[in-house]
Amino acid sequence: MALPDNIVQCLLADDSQTAWAAIRNELKYHFFAPFGENNPVEELIRREKAIEPMELCLGGAAWSLWNDFSHDIPRGSASLLDWWHSGHGGKAVIVLDGLSAREVPLLVAEAKKRGFSVGNTELCGSELPAETNAYAKSLGFSHRGALDNNGAGGAHKVTGAYTITNQLPWADLAKIIPHTPRVFIWHEWPDLRVHDLAGHGKGIRELLPEVVQQLRSDDFWALVAQLATGREVLITSDHGYADTGSFHDAEQDEKAYLRDNFGANRYRQGELTSREWLPPLALTLDCPTGRWSMALGRTKWAVPGGNKTLSHGGLTLLETFVPFLTLSKL
């Protein structure tokens, strides 16, 4: 599938703000449409394939747009704080660690089917690098684990929240929700499974059926319904994930460079070694948590044990765009 001429023109000739707005609209066009009668796993894989030309352009001729990503795309953390501090009613956040743009139509369809009113449905930007600690720090938490059992204290930016983080099954998590007006939950799923299934011979075709099952489960929506009693609910994420198993293999000299700089990861703190590539294989950017280098585009490289098939922290669209969905009970 070729990238439409108007999108190519926009990415290569327009200012970065216009280009990123067009990119976000294209992602919403591909990923927000209902599934209909299609098999959801096959449909998600088809949709990701449809944005590959845009990804390749962003990793090639239009690579410099990534320098402006954090300025031109509203960050999910800032949008969360704006929402949290607007109004005075009850609010509940569910951060599903590693949830991506792929899952939005599942959430919307199930919410409507189960009697929720769907409010804002949007895509926001992750922090850079697209990883957990950067997001935690953007909200004023020292790290994700600090939220456990309301342990985050009062110095963070999500003021007045009772905080929870764990990996409990949804039904068990529902049992520990307090009767307080403002609750902030950061659950470790699906990121735990992204890492579990990142090994050679595994990957997205094992992950997606589980994601579909969980987001259509009665237990998950019973948890959401409990949180929505007297509260508006926000479902969002800290970062997405990449189907790195489908990325193209780096050339031999590129592979050595990427492995030497990143190992099995897609990001690292600090500068890269000195060799220059055009288009670059990675970018070094100044981020709120310091200077970070991130692998650019849909390239994979082997490490001992093989290629990672699922990952996050690099500069691709499904790593760096996150869902932002508000719900309430009708």
Per-residue pLDDT, 172: 98
Per-residue pLDDT, 276: 79
Q: How far does CA 303 lie from the centroid of its chain?
A: 24
Residue 188 corresponds to which amino acid? E
- Percent of the chain residues topping a pLDDT of 90: 88
Per-residue pLDDT, 243: 97
Q: How confident is the model at residue 153 (pLDDT cuts 50, 70, 90)?
A: confident
pLDDT value at 51 more than 80: yes
Q: How confident is the model at residue 274 (pLDDT cuts 50, 70, 90)?
A: low
Burial letters for 58-95: b for 16+ Cβ neighbours within 10 Å, e otherwise?
bbeebbebbeebbebbebbbebbbebbeeeeebbbbbb
Q: Domain spans of the chain?
A: 74-330
Per-residue pLDDT, 184: 97
Per-residue pLDDT, 305: 77
* Phi and psi angles of residue 90, each rounded to the nearest 5 degrees, phi first: -70, 145
Average pLDDT score over residue span 251-278: 90
Q: What pTM did the predictor assign? A: 0.96
Average pLDDT score over residue span 292-318: 93
Per-residue pLDDT, 1: 65
> Residues 177-190: pLDDT tens digits?
999 999 999 999 99
Average pLDDT score over residue span 99-127: 97
Average pLDDT score over residue span 152-160: 90
